Amino acid sequence: MIAPLNDALTKRTIAVVDDDRAILTTIQSLLEEEGFEVRAYTDGEAALQSVNALPFDLALVDIKMPRMDGMELLHRLRQRSSLPVIFLTGKDQEIDEVMGLRIGADDYITKPFRQHLLIERIRALLRRDEAGRAEGAGTVGVMVRGDLVLDETKQQCIWRGQDIRLTTTELLLMKALAARPGVVKSRNQLLDAIHGEDTCITDRTVDGHIKRIRKKFRAVDDTFDRIQAIYDMGYRYQED
């Protein structure tokens, strides 16, 4: 067994959505062994129907499923919640991975997956949520950069007076970029801000999230151009 999380995290509830019952059983057993409460669903429709009555803290969602696939489930979840979502994808689903990040997934992992890697991805996302809760109980962490207001304790992003619903990952990226306007952050630096140095993921993860963030800002302000890509270096947040 992987070294357990602290009690606050191991009591969190994870929804696992996959139409492959063998994979569903394997993941459920693994997570329960680590101390999590698990709710297992074989299709997206069933998971969506239960999210209001039985809320969960994180979701592992397969992309390819009958009735309602992972993309549609994520889209509907994002209409009501910013809870962390990790996509489970097949080796030949690179396009789906990118699209998933663009519509709001926090991370993805390819099947067949290494068990310790899956647990570490879950830990990284839950640690962020736990840190936000702890910060909310203490000092108020609000960052103001001109027209941009980031309130991590409320999971809130305001641009020119309009609320922009960001996922936890997207909010952390914005915070990392806006912390030092004009300074270029490499993709590796931004990856560290999202997941920490102990998680192996790719540059494409950052690019996918940045595209999604830009799209959300431009939905309320089509002139938004503050997040700039610097060729062969990374990204920066540029103030007026």
| pLDDT per position as a tens digit, 71-118 | 888 888 877 777 888 988 876 655 566 666 666 778 888 888 888 889
- Find out whether the peptide bond into 84 is cis, omega within 30 degrees of 0: no
* CA 35 – CA 155 distance, rounded (Å): 26
Please tell me the predicted confidence (pLDDT) of residue 37: 93
Residues 6+ apart with CB under 8 A from 215: 102
Q: Topology of 7-133 in CATH?
A: Rossmann fold (3.40.50)
Whether the predicted model's global pTM rises above the 0.75 cut: no
pLDDT at 1 over 50: no
Report the percent of the chain where pLDDT is more than 90: 29
Rounded CA separation 158/106 (Å)? 20
Give strand pairing partners of 40: 16
Torsions phi, psi of 155, nearest 5? 55, 50
**Domain range annotation of the chain:** 7-133, 140-237
CATH class of 140-237: mainly alpha
Nearest to 104 by CA among 133, 142, 77, 137: 77
Q: Tell me, what's the pLDDT at 2? A: 45
Euclidean distance between CA atoms 100 and 95, whole angstroms: 9
Confidence of residue 202 (pLDDT cuts 50, 70, 90): low
112 preceded by cis ω (within 30°)? yes
First to last CA, the chain: 51
Residue 188: strand, helix, or coil = helix
Window from 27-41, 100-114, 141-155, 193-207 with minimum mean pLDDT: 193-207
